[in-house]
Chains A and B, each alone.
Chain A
Amino acid sequence: MEVAKPIQHNQLVALEKDIKKERRQLAVKRFFSNKTVLAGSIMLIFLTLFAFIGPLISQFTPLQIDPANRLAKPSAEHWFGTDNFGRDLFSRVAHGAQVSMGVGLSVAVLTAVIGMVIGLYAAYYSALDHILMRISDALMAFPDILLAIAIMAVLGPQPVNVVIAVTLAKIPVVARIVRSSALVIKEQTYIEAMRAQGASSWRIIWRHILPNTVSPLIVQVTYVFAIAIILEAALSFLGAGVPAPDPSWGNILYDGKIVIYNAWWMTVFPGAFIVMAVLALNLFGDGLRDLLDPHSNKALKE
């Protein structure tokens, strides 16, 4: 009689490795077959490279004034032309990319962390929920740019304050997203079972509820990143954001508006980068939503 051979441990390990590899390949395949997320990623990579390599390949610094060469058209020397002080626009837009995208990224990370904590605890403790959600209702009643303007007016125009102002305006949105998915998870039987076994609330919230709220959080934060770039540009354009002479996409547009009759390039180039960054993030977010949750928004797909 033939006896079934016991499975060796190393066979199991190999099998597990294979499965992991297959899963990874599948994830990569799904990523590359999702054109939206792919297009968004390529644009984001390009922008990141531009922000870091742009300043290196430019022969000019963003603050170098050349009064003889004011408002020069784009040329072989000045790729994007020069501004009203004769500063090289390519160099300014590239440095501005670091500032604008840096502000956007900081806002995205901060709102994600703070919004997550608020959303999770609001969902878990219903007494806290009432208070926190009324506060977020109140904050959401202010149009985001006005809230940011008011905070900037009080704190003063500084890049750090732009981050604070925009973060404050956007935390309620993120907190609500996390809260609503956490509320669903909280009612599941396995959470009830954990509680019955005497798991601490800390463990339930961070080990069991949190992982289930991550996908909607990441998607929402991508959009917040995009909105933060728009808000930074708007604030700086209004003179309440990143102060001169440091470049940001918004304050280059502000300078450009004064000379719009003479220098189209000062509006078109920074403008194109703002649109590209926001479009990239919106595409990335939309694609990610479909990747992470195949059930969501079927109607939007073909």
Chain B
Amino acid sequence: MKAYILKRLLSMIPVLLIVAIFVFFLIHMIPGDPAAVMLGPEATPEEVESLKEELGLNLPIYQQFFEWSLHALQGDLGNSLYMNQPVLDAFTSHLGPTLSLALLAQGVSIFLAIPIGVLAARKRGTGIDRTFMIIAMLGMSIPSFLLALLLMLVFGVQLNWLPVAGYTSLSEGLWEHLKYLILPAISLGTIQAAVIARMTRSSMIDILSMNFIKTAKAKGLKQKVVIYKHAFRNALIPILTILGETFGALITGAVVTETVFNLPGIGQLVINAITRRDYAVIQGTILLIAVTYLFLNLIIDLLYGLVDPRVRLNRK
């Protein structure tokens, strides 16, 4: 197991390095002089020169990359030009709403998808199964921000049940906090649910056709025990994989969905950074998210190795 962990950790290094190179070179993909673009057309040549000096843009490129990486490893992702604060601080101060939204949406999706997937697998081929799978297909075809707009139109504008914009943090009370997150979480969670329900269904169908299920049934076990204790536990592994893989989709969705509802999260931070040409913020944010994603997948892989010894042996 130790060897497996070590091997997996070592394999992260080249990937992290390439992620870093990509993020670093983003700023150099800007057509023209990055410093001049950042400051806009009104900037004087002196201002441009001093910013270049500050960002180290006059140094040779490998030295720039080396220094940038060294700082990034220490958690220093540079300063936001516009907000006048370290990028890391800007990121953490915007993380709350996005994280709340992502977690709530994941909750909604699991709550919807797993019972539906299991039911569809049990009633395979019937009208119930078909109806749910058509709904799931439709759900997979709606971008989450579009569902957000439609829900906003119905529940916010027409019925006026829930607020369509704004945010209060958890410290203001649970309901006050949730009130602003219900619509975004439903729109994001429903889309996720479509993917997870399809996965749950096909995974359950695979397991239900196996011999040990026949045995369990033949032993005279109750239907419920067979489905939940025997089949579902085994179907859970591919479902967990999907949960890990959809993290990226969840963050992506959260970023776009929160701009629909004007939640002050990572999405707003990035969008504002684009209009203000605040490249340090863009670089820092996508670096942090990519690294989070890589480590999340590392943890999932290690958990598999722990649960299923075949995984550690196969990957030698």
Q: Which residues of A contact B (CB under 8 A)?
A: 134-135, 137-139, 141-147, 149-156, 226, 230, 233-234, 237-240, 253, 256-257, 260-261, 264, 267-268, 271, 274-275, 278-279, 282-283, 286, 297, 299-300, 302
| CB pair B30 A137 closer than 8 Å | no
Instruction: Tell me, yes or no, whether B162 is within 8 Å of chain A by CB.
Output: no
Q: How far is the CA of A261 from the CA of B149 in the complex (A)?
A: 11
User: Are A153 and B282 in contact, CB atoms less than 8 angstroms apart?
Assistant: yes
Expressed in whole angstroms, the Cα–Cα distance for A150 and B30 within the complex equals: 11
14 A-B residue pairs with Cβ-Cβ distance under 8 Å, sorted by A, are A143-B293, A144-B252, A146-B255, A146-B285, A146-B286, A230-B143, A238-B256, A238-B259, A239-B275, A253-B145, A256-B149, A275-B142, A275-B146, A300-B198
Closest to B13 in A: A134
Which residues from chain A contact B206 at a C-beta distance below 8 Å? 299
Q: Quote the shortest CB–CB distance from A275 to chain B (angstroms).
A: 5
For chain B residues 117-167, which have a beta carbon within 8 Å of chain A? 124-125, 129-130, 137-138, 140-143, 145-146, 149-150, 152-153, 157, 164
Q: Are B15 and A282 in contact (CB under 8 A)?
A: no
Residue B260 interfacial (CB < 8 Å): yes
Complex: A260 Cα to B151 Cα, angstroms: 11
Q: Which residues of A contact B150 (CB under 8 A)?
A: 267-268, 271
Residues from chain B with Cβ under 8 Å of A143 in the complex? 248-249, 251-252, 255, 289, 293
- A226-B19 contact in complex given A237-B256, A239-B275, C-beta closer than 8 Å: no
Q: Which B259-278 residues have C-beta < 8 A from chain A? A: 259-260, 270-271, 273-275, 277
Docked pose: A61 CA to B183 CA in angstroms = 36
**Interface bracket on B:** 35 or more
Contact A279:B259 (CB < 8 A) given known A145-B252, A234-B145, A299-B202: no
Identify A155's interface contact among B29, B129, B291, CB under 8 A: B29
A237, B255: Cα distance in complex, Å: 12
Partner pick for B289 among A146, A154, A237, A286, CB 8 A cutoff: A146
A142 to B286 Cα, complex, angstroms = 7
Q: A278's closest neighbor in chain B, by CB?
A: B141
Is A138 within 8 A of B146, CB to CB?
Answer: no
> Nearest Cβ distance between residue B197 and chain A, in whole angstroms?
12
On chain A, the residues within 8 Å of B290 by CB distance are 138, 141-142
Please state if B124 and A150 are interface contacts (CB–CB under 8 Å). Answer: no
Q: Which residue of A lies closest to B21 (CB)?
A: A138
Residues of B within 8 A of A286 (CB): 137
Which of B141, B201, B277 is close to A279, meaning CB atoms less than 8 Å apart? B141
In-complex Cβ contact of B27 among A154, A237, A300 (8 A): A154
Which of B14, B31, B206, B256 has the most chain A CB atoms inside 10 A of its CB? B256
Q: Say whether B9 faces chain A, with CB atoms less than 8 Å apart.
A: no
- A92 to B273 CA separation, bound complex (whole angstroms): 29
Asked if B22 and A139 sit within 8 Å, CB to CB, the answer is yes
State A116–B18 Cα separation when bound (angstroms).
Answer: 22
Give Cα A238 to B138, complex, Å: 23
- Whether B202 lies near A297 (C-beta < 8 A) is yes
Q: Is B294 an interface residue (CB 8 A)?
A: yes
Give Cα A192–Cα B140 distance, bound, in whole angstroms.
42
Interface positions of B from 178 to 226, Cβ below 8 Å from A? 198, 201-202, 205-206
Q: A135-B18, A271-B150, A275-B142 are in contact. Are A142 and B259 (CB under 8 A)?
A: no
- CB pair B202 A300 closer than 8 Å: yes
Contact B157 A260 (CB under 8 A): yes
Once A146-B286, A150-B286, A154-B29 are accepted as A-B contacts, the answer to whether A141 and B293 lie under 8 Å apart by CB is yes
What is the CA–CA distance of A253 and B137 in the complex, to the nearest angstrom?
22
> What is the chain B residue whose CB lies nearest that of A286?
B137
B248 to chain A, nearest CB (A): 4
A149/B125 in contact, CB under 8 A: no
CB of A4 to closest CB in B, whole Å? 52
Tell yes or no: B26 within 8 A of A by CB: yes
Closest 7 CB pairs of A and B: A138-B18, A279-B141, A143-B252, A278-B141, A141-B290, A302-B125, A299-B202
If A150-B282, A282-B140 touch, whether A233 touches B146 (CB-CB below 8 Å) is yes
Residues of B within 8 A of A145 (CB): 252, 255-256
Inter-chain contacts of A278 with B (CB < 8 A)? 141-143
Chain B nearest CB from A93 CB (Å) reads 14
* B138 touching A299, Cβ below 8 Å: no
Determine if B26 and A299 form an interchain contact, defined as CB atoms under 8 angstroms apart.
Answer: no
- Complex Cα distance, B148 from A256, in Å, reads 13
**Alpha-carbon gap, A147 to B248, bound state (A):** 11
> For the complex, what is the distance from the CA of A151 to the CA of B285, rounded to whole Å?
13
0 or 1 for each of B17-50: is its CB under 8 Å from A? (1 = yes): 0110010001101110000000000000000000
Verify B19–A267 contact, CB threshold 8 A.
Answer: no
Closest residue of chain B to A141 (Cβ to Cβ) is B290
A170 → chain B, closest Cβ, in Å? 13
Interface string of B279-297 (1 = CB under 8 A from A): 1001101100111011000
A274 touches B149 (CB 8 A): no
- Contact check, A134 vs B18: say whether CB atoms are below 8 A apart: yes
On whether the beta carbons of B124 and A302 are closer than 8 Å, the reply is: yes
